[in-house]
Structure 1
Amino acid sequence: MNRELSFIIIDDSELDCYVTQKFLQRANQNLIIKTFNDAQEALELIRENNNFDVVPPTIILLDLQMPVMSGFKFVEEFEKIPAEIQKKYVIIVLTVLSSSNDPKDIYKILTFKTVKSLVEKPLTLEKLASLLKHVPPAGNK
């Protein structure tokens, strides 16, 4: 992975944030990575950060099942942000797929225009390479 990218990891599990961050750092030590255990805090950062021309494309790795603000609510609120801000981000849902998941939830999250893909935890090099196909090159606005 030699593209200039940044990541925002949003997951209520500190362990999952840590594991994903360490994996990404091993794939590329020069990545900019921010982690949040609260989706609302991440949303506020995105809304308040107005210096978008210097921020490389940012991949949001989003957990669906979180107690304060779910991944669904995060995406609903994210899609209310102006389009010129939205296009600087790519939302990838990073979740545990199991028989306890409601298939309707998986379908529902993929119907949002800003959600580009769903990836099963844990992240691997193969999954990372696949999800990077959904990220436009730097400079594409």
Structure 2
Amino acid sequence: MAAGNNQEKAAADLMVDTQDKPAIVVAKEVIPAYRHRDPLNNIHSKDFVQKYRMQLIRKVADPDPLFDLLLHKKVLSDHSYSEIKALPTDEKKMSKLLMGPYLEAKPACDIVYDFLKKEQPYLVFDLLQK
């Protein structure tokens, strides 16, 4: 009985907190994973990066703007950024990024996934169709 009361109270609190808010705002508050899941492809950004790591290493063209963004967002330190940028090929740069510890956290994967969807949408589409 106490569990039912707790659920009713939580539901009542939720109803009060969500009044006069658009449905999308409510969804983002109620479903914490919402921001990390692409609604069109039903995949988490971290799952995307992990699943397609090898293809991304080979296929991402001109990754330098991505590295710049990751430095700006503090995913990469100045030292890591310099190490990656010093590598001779885009494939080696992407390998260092994707095989290293830099993308362990979901927010870092969100940045990469969002960047790729915006800057290289055909690559993302192609990978998701496989």
TM-score category of the 2 structures, normalised to the smaller one:
under 0.3
Q: TM-score by structure 1 length?
A: 0.24
The structure richer in strand per residue is 1
Q: TM-score by structure 2 length?
A: 0.25
The structure richer in helix per residue is 2
